[in-house]
Structure formats: C-alpha cells, structure tokens
C-alpha cells in the first residue's frame, strides 16, 4: 500500500530488505533547486575535467563491484553473473565511451551557406540544465546512472527517480559518484511513487523516461504542459525471423539467450519468433532442448535464470500464457511458476500454435516466454513481424546477407540484428530507439548526448558593410534587381547552367 514509506523486498525470497522515505513534492522542488546551483558550476568544467571525475567513478565501481552485485541481486533477483556481464560491463564501457567522445559529438559545427558566402554560421550545443531521469526496475544501474553519464558529460545536473521496486542500486551508485568527486547535488536520487515522478516533471528542464507505453504517454502529456523536451524508450514486442537457410544452431542459441536473459525482462527481448516451414520443427526441437537444460534459482548459485522482479509483471505473464492456452496454444516446456521456490520464479517457457489473436503475440510480455509461429515464407514472416503497434528491436537469421539487408530495411523497428540478438544495446556508439509506440528519441551515438543539449545557431557577418542589400530603404530599383535575380538563380534551365560543374581543366 502506498504511503510515506517504500518497502524494498527481495523478489527471490519475498523478504523485506529495507524501508525508504518517499520524496514529497517539496523535496523534489528543493532537490532540483540545489541541482541548478551545482549545474552552474559543473557547466564551467572542461570536457577533460568532467571525464577525469567519470574515470574515478568507474574505478570506484570496479573496487565495489561485489557490493554492487549484492545490492542488485537482492533487489532484482537476477543471476550474479548478469550483474558483472551486463550492468557493470555496460557502465564501465559507457563511461569510457562518453568520456572520450562527448566533446566530438557536441563541439561547434561550421555550416557553409550555399548562397550567402559573406556570412559565417556555427551551430553550438549548450547543456539543457537539470535532466530528470525516470527509470524502470529491470536494469536499475544501466537505466539510471548509465543514462545519466552522457547528460553529465554534456554539462547537465541529473535527478533520478528510480523504480520503487529497485531504488537501492541507484542510491549506492550516487554515493560512489559523490566520492568520485562530482559536485554536491549534481547527481541526486529521489525515491517515490508516481507522484514523485510527476513532481519531477514539473520542475526539471527535460525528462528521459524508460518504461511502459501507457506510462510514457502520461509522462509526455504532463511534460507538454511545460513544453519541456522528452525522450521515451517504451515497450517492445520484438520479432525474430528465422529463414530456411539459417544456421539453426546459432539461431537457436541467440533466441534462447535473447528471449530469456534477465528472465525476459528486457525491452529488446525476443518476444515473437517466426520460422519458415521447412526448418520449423528442427528449430523448435533445438529450442526446447536448450530451454530444458537451463538452470533457474537463487542469484548466488550457478544459474542462467533468477526470479522475476515484479509481482505485477509475473501475474501478467501468467495471464497471457493462460489466455493463449485457452485459444489453442501448446506449451512444450515450462508454463508455470517454479514450485521449487517461494519467490517470483516463472519457468522458462516455450509455446507453439500461437497466433496474432493472442495477447502473448500482440502485447509486450516482459517475461521468460518464447512463442514460436510457423510461416510459409519470408514474405509472411515479414508481414507478421510488422503487424504490431511496437517497433523497438528485431532480428533476422539467414546465410544470405544480401537478402538479410533487404529484410532489415523493411522491418519496422528502430534496430535490426542480422544473425544476432540484443547486443546492439551495449554498443554506445550505435543509436538505439523505437518506432511506432516504442518511443521517441534515441540513446547512444551523437543523438544520445545531443538530446541533453540546447542547439543554438550563431551567425557572424564577415564584411562589416554599413548596410545590406535587403535592408531598408526598399526601392523600385532593388525590387527590379531581386526580380531578375530570382529568374537567374532559381528558374529551371538557368539554374542548371549557373551551377553546372566547370568543363575546363585547370593547370
């Protein structure tokens, strides 16, 4: 029940970890005010000075990686190996990437006017101010401090509202960041429910949100009242296409990992699989064998799957599976809560005989489910893959690389992996974001830091004349001059002659 305290529980054991005070609207206003003061000083730092602090922060995370793993596994239930191989690897790599490349992405850009050669034009990027980050529970370090890194390198302050289910990773991360030398109040964490997030939107200069489509729309509506920029990474129902000439062993391995990593609680998880008829049964057999070999259990053991993190999400998974079975789907493996544990464990599940009238194919599942459909050819696979309101990630498996490129161009998704899955997210130089209802904006790449900046154009006159031709007074002589100029510059035929490349050879 909501109140002035949040109880953080272990999803693996259901035991209470701690209680935290909820940030009020007044707390949020004060935090943002303090962040503005810190940002004014931070903005004056050079990129090299900002990078130095980030590198120190990375060293501290490596030094405290065991404690980070303890915290993350306790509040998420994910396997310990995933903390090192996913969350911490991403954080360490991202820090190095943004420390090295931030200045390149936001340095002033010269723009060469195609006609007004007497003008010098430069586009510059300035920090936007205080950035608010509202994050989900599935990657409580990557999607909080990981998202804050480019914002900080751009010269902003950051206030984070983590998920009420997993606030401890962000809190400890900010503690390390302060020890690394970030100015006081430059990075803050506010614990709370949706009301805290709403208050954050009411005070910051920009919002970066990761979460569900429905909540993302609410965030955008509230931000629209203040006309502040918003980036949204929302849900996904990411398709995988397996063609008859694919390397089935690689495809099956990629599918199992891409669908079940973090118990399927990844926005870019493979959630729909379309397999051409000639290889369908072989592929299904491989998937079932590999899924049955997976180990599930507590984080401290050698396991591939831990618990799910959210009780509400577990119920959604159960509901989708039950509805699919009622409509004719068959379960080949799993399909239930794991009876060996009292926590939020759902067995990795393989389903066939599924179709697009089922929620498990239409709506985001966000759980350890692999629904597989047989298709007659790649045309049907592509049509079904695009038959979704989502468009975040996707993958296609085939030995024909030219054909793979053609399919990739036609898939309606922000990212396409050819003979691979999920790995695109951990390449910080590659823009990542969604189409359709999967979101707006991009993380990573140039846009991943420029979104945290205000772009400004500066024009400088080169000649210093007392007056310009277009300035007052406007005389009949000027009008005649402009009239003739329009014909010379823009009329078809004349334009081609005026701007055609010279046919003479110099030298």
Q: What value does the mean pLDDT take over residues 423-445?
A: 96
Buried b (16+ CB within 10 A) or exposed e, 473-484: eeeeeeeeeeee
pLDDT, position 497: 53
Six token digits for residue 454: 């205000």
Q: What value does the mean pLDDT take over residues 38-49?
A: 98
Cα 339 from Cα 336, distance rounded (Å): 8
Closest CA to 209 of 34, 433, 4: 433
pLDDT, position 500: 53
pLDDT at 503 over 80: no
Instruction: Tell how far CA 105 is from the center of its chain.
Output: 18
| Residue percentage of the chain with pLDDT more than 70 | 97
Closest CA to 134 of 192, 70, 221: 192
pLDDT at 66 over 90: yes
pLDDT at 357 over 50: yes
SS3 state of residue 292: helix
Cα 247 from Cα 255, distance rounded (Å): 12
pLDDT, position 132: 98
pTM score: 0.94
Closest CA to 301 of 365, 264, 350, 345: 345
Q: pLDDT band at 222, cuts 50/70/90?
A: very high
Q: In Å, how far are 27, 159, 319, 368 from 335, measured between CA atoms?
A: 44, 40, 11, 9
pLDDT at 494 over 90: no
- Positions annotated as catalytic residues are 233, 267
Q: pLDDT band at 492, cuts 50/70/90?
A: confident
Q: pLDDT band at 505, cuts 50/70/90?
A: very low
pLDDT at 495 over 70: no
Six token digits for residue 249: 């062993």
Whose tokens are 């420029």? That residue is: 450
How does pLDDT run across 441-485, given as a tens digit for each residue? 999 999 999 999 999 999 999 999 999 999 999 999 999 999 999
Q: What is the pLDDT of the chain when averaged over all its residues? A: 96
Name the helix (H) or strand (E) containing 38.
helix 25-42
pLDDT at 47 over 60: yes
Cα 388 from Cα 237, distance rounded (Å): 8
pLDDT, position 352: 98
How does pLDDT run across 387-402, given as a tens digit for each residue? 999 999 999 999 999 9
pLDDT at 268 over 50: yes
How does pLDDT run across 299-336, given as a tens digit for each residue? 999 999 999 999 999 999 999 999 999 999 999 999 99
pLDDT at 227 over 60: yes
Delineate the domains of the chain, giving CATH numbers in brackets. 5-234+445-456 (3.40.605.10), 238-427 (3.40.309.10), 466-499 (no CATH)
159 contacts 131 by C-beta, under 8 angstroms: yes
How does pLDDT run across 173-193, given as a tens digit for each residue? 999 999 999 999 999 999 999
199 contacts 29 by C-beta, under 8 angstroms: yes
Q: What value does the mean pLDDT take over residues 193-217?
A: 98
DSSP letters along 233-279, please?
E----EEEEE-TTS-HHHHHHHHHHHHHGGGG--TT-EEEEEEEHHH
pLDDT at 171 over 50: yes
pLDDT, position 3: 76
Q: What value does the mean pLDDT take over residues 1-19?
A: 91
pLDDT at 407 over 80: yes
pLDDT, position 209: 98
């Amino acid at each position: 029940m909501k109140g002035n305290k949040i109880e953080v529980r272990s999803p693996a054991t259901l035991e209470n970890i701690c209680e935290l005070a909820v940030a009020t609207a007044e707390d949020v206003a004060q935090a943002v005010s303090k962040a503005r003061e810190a940002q004014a000083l931070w903005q004056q730092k050079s990129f090299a000075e900002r990078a130095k602090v980030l590198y120190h922060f990375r060293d501290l995370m490596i030094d405290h990686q065991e404690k980070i793993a303890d915290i993350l596994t306790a509040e998420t239930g994910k396997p310990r190996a995933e903390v090192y191989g996913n969350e911490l690897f991403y954080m360490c790599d991202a820090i190095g990437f943004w420390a090295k490349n931030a200045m390149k992405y936001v340095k002033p850009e010269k723009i060469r006017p195609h006609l007004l050669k007497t003008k010098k034009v430069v586009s510059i990027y300035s920090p936007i101010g205080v950035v608010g980050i509202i994050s989900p529970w599935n990657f409580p370090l990557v999607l909080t401090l990981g998202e804050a890194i480019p914002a900080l390198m751009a010269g902003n302050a950051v206030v984070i509202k983590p998920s009420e289910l997993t606030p401890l990773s962000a809190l400890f991360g900010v503690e390390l960041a302060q020890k690394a030398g970030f100015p006081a109040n430059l990075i803050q964490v506010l614990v709370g429910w949706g009301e805290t997030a709403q208050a954050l939107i009411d005070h910051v200069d920009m919002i970066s949100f990761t979460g569900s489509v429905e909540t993302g729309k609410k965030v955008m509506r509230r931000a629209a009242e203040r006309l502040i920029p918003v980036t949204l990474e929302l849900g996904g129902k990411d398709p995988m296409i397996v063609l008859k000439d694919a390397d089935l062993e690689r495809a099956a391995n990629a599918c199992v990992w891409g669908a079940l990593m973090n118990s399927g609680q990844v926005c870019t998880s493979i959630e729909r699989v379309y397999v051409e008829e000639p290889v369908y049964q072989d592929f299904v057999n491989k998937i079932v064998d590999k899924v049955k070999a997976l180990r599930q259990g507590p984080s401290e053991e050698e396991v591939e799957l831990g618990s799910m993190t959210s009780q509400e999400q577990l119920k959604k998974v159960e509901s989708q599976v039950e509805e699919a079975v009622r409509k004719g789907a068959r379960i080949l493996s799993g399909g239930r809560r794991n009876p060996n544990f009292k926590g939020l464990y759902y067995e990795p599940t393989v389903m066939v005989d599924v179709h697009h009238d089922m929620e498990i194919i239409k709506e985001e599942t966000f759980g350890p489910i692999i629904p597989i459909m047989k298709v007659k050819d790649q045309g049907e696979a592509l049509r079904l893959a695009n038959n979704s309101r989502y468009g975040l990630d996707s993958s296609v498996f085939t030995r024909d690389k030219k054909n793979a490129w053609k399919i990739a161009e036609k898939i309606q998704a922000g990212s396409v992996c050819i003979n691979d899955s999920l790995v695109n997210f951990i390449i910080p130089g590659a823009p990542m974001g969604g189409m359709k209802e999967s979101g707006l904006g991009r993380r990573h790449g140039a846009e991943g830091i420029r979104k945290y900046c205000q772009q400004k154009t500066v024009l400088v006159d080169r000649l210093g004349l007392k007056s310009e031709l277009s300035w007052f007074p406007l005389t009949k002589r000027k009008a005649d001059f402009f009239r003739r100029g329009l014909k010379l510059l823009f009329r078809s035929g004349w334009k081609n002659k005026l701007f055609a490349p010279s046919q003479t050879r110099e030298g």
